[in-house]
Structure 1
Amino acid sequence: MSAFPSKQALALDAVRRAPFHFFQVDNFTDLGINDGSELRAPSYWVLWYAVNTLVTIHCWTSWQEGIKRKRLINVTTSLIHSTISGLFIFAYFFMYTKLVFASPLHYYSYLDSQIVMLSIGYFFYDAFDLLLNDKLSIATGVLLFHHAASILVLSTAVLSHKFLLYAYWALLMEVSSVLLHSRSLLHLSKLSTTSMIGLSRVVAYFNIVFFVIFRFLVQVFLVGWAWVNLDHMHSAFAAIALVGGLCFFVINVGLFMRILHSDGFFLPSVMSEGQLDALLEDNDYSKVGTSEKEDLLEV
């Protein structure tokens, strides 16, 4: 062992010798890891509010202010997030395939964690938007639970400096969300029944395929990997992976059934309108008339 005291020991000694102040500037950087992390935490949720503002100003301007334009703006913002995160994660998987399979637990890079932090910011933004602008309902509650669970899972990687690539696997579901949000925009804007009927059908079919691959199969890997590595992590992390995986699976099954129903792949008699209501991603339709409600139910 070194005969000289460590930097941390010297810093602790300096704390003991320093006069006591109730409020003081903390310059004792040697007491911990001095990598400047406290100065590198961008407020991505503010960024998403800025994105939403730009979308509000420049998109869907020909639409009258109301529930449908609000929904179009919200889905457009969501599409921007899923496009950025989904394409980045997909490209990362393509370039570092062996790495994402080999080390979902231990690999960590501050730079690579930014896409996770960006998504955490998005889920915070969207959750606040729901709380401020939506009427509380079962559907809103499910979506808030989804966002809270997503923040918990993704924050685990950022705070522990572990499970970064596990979070990448979870974000791979955003590839499916690109098709999901595109489909919603086509339906809401009525382009699916006018000038873009053909494109809408193509998107509908690809949405089903991508949903199975990038949601259900990804979840199979996430749960399977967690099960294989149960002995290599704390039980709290294992619970997040297994219980969280089950919750996301239930949410995705409900969403998948709604998509199959509204796109004509599922017999209407199998699911009632009331059951379909409960599977909606939001409850905007509850504030409008019957005709508009039917439009939103088709999204």
Structure 2
Amino acid sequence: MMREILGDIIRPTHYGLEWELPRISDVLETNFFLPILIYFIILQILGYLVKQLLWISYLQLTRHRLQNLTVSLVHSCIAGCSSLIFFITRPIVMLEDAIHWYNPVAAQLIYFSMAYFLYDTTDVIRNDSSWHAFVILAHHTVVYSIFSIGMLSHKFLPYTYWALMVEINTSFLHVRSIMRLTNRDPCKNLCYKTISLLAFLTFFVFRLGTLLWMMLFMVMNYGTFHPFYTYSSLTAEVFFFIFSIFLLRHLLIEEGILEKAVL
């Protein structure tokens, strides 16, 4: 039993599923929705504690933004660090077996991330009605949908770990945003400058670089699984790449590197 849980297992019932469409009815299976529900409750408790204990001296809009960023930072640190550790410890799996390798313990990180995106969606709906909120909701909807496709098929788990490596960059972006909200003149702060530099460096390596690799992977492996997975993945990755370009533009404007009028 322990070998099945901790080993590099692929259950026999998962063979050939890459050629089948994911069954939507499986979202009602306890092994799919129960982990998400448990992590969602944990995140709700975390969010409640953050709102009761942290950033309470700030004005309402700034306070909510800081509290939301704090929970988001917890998720991005866990997801980013875990995916990077997985890559370091299992490079062959990440590079050569990104489709078929499956482990129920490793799948928990994906369920945790899906729960986070549900949590953040509900938090944004309750507290934000700006254009920024709409963009975030669109992003979370695409992420949750594409993660669900992989989890329902019991395929592409290491490939999804690649996607979570983007969270390494997200961690630095969250810290940078927190520093901007809490520091009246962050651009003169050495710590802020360091975090901002790391945010830009990881943006190109772990965000744009990862997305490009994932698109290349799908193109190079076309025909080795159902076309649905190819097209749905590429559609999501193109969306995230465009989203990332606009995010990069926003960061460059904030740093004064790019004029706002420049597209």
**Do they superpose with TM above 0.5?**
yes
Query: How many residue pairs are counted as aligned between the two chains?
Result: 234
Query: Aligned partner of 2:90: which letter?
Result: Y
Q: Within 2, Cα distance between the matches of 1:240 and 1:213? A: 23
Matched, 1:114 2:108: yes
SS in 1 for 2:42: helix
Deviates more, 1:113-122 or 1:65-74: 65-74
Q: Within 2, Cα distance between the matches of 1:191 and 1:91? A: 36
Query: Aligned partner of 1:181: which letter?
Result: H
Is residue 80–residue 166 contact of structure 2 (8 Å, CA) maintained in 1? yes
Q: TM-score, normalised by structure 1?
A: 0.74
Structure 1: runs of 5 or more not aligned: 1-35, 272-299
Matched, 1:239 2:231: yes
Paired position in structure 1 for 2:178: 185
Is residue 66–residue 178 contact of structure 2 (8 Å, CA) maintained in 1? yes
Is residue 192–residue 200 contact of structure 1 (8 Å, CA) maintained in 2? no
Matched, 1:133 2:127: yes
Structure 2: runs of 5 or more not aligned: 1-29
Q: TM-score, normalised by structure 2?
A: 0.84
Paired position in structure 2 for 1:281: none
Q: Within 1, Cα distance between the matches of 2:53 and 2:151? A: 34
The counterpart of 1:218, out of the listed 184, 195, 210, is 210
Is residue 79–residue 164 contact of structure 2 (8 Å, CA) maintained in 1? yes
Paired position in structure 1 for 2:191: 199
Query: Aligned partner of 2:86: which letter?
Result: Y
Query: Aligned partner of 2:171: which letter?
Result: V
Matched, 1:248 2:240: yes
SS in 1 for 2:35: coil
Greater radius of gyration (CA): 1
Q: How does 1:1-299 map to 2 (within 5 A)?
A: 37=31, 41-43=35-37, 44-61=39-56, 63-135=57-129, 137-190=130-183, 193=186, 197-270=189-262
Q: Within 2, Cα distance between the matches of 1:122 and 1:257? A: 26
1:68-97 deviation line (CA, Å, top 9, x unaligned):
111100011100110111111111111111
Query: Aligned partner of 1:77: which letter?
Result: V
1:214-263 deviation line (CA, Å, top 9, x unaligned):
01010111000001111011121111111111101110000011001101
Query: Aligned partner of 1:118: which letter?
Result: F
Q: Within 2, Cα distance between the matches of 1:217 and 1:110? A: 28
SS in 2 for 1:231: coil
SS in 1 for 2:98: coil
SS in 1 for 2:223: helix
Q: Within 2, Cα distance between the matches of 1:253 and 1:39? A: 33
Q: Within 2, Cα distance between the matches of 1:172 and 1:110? A: 19
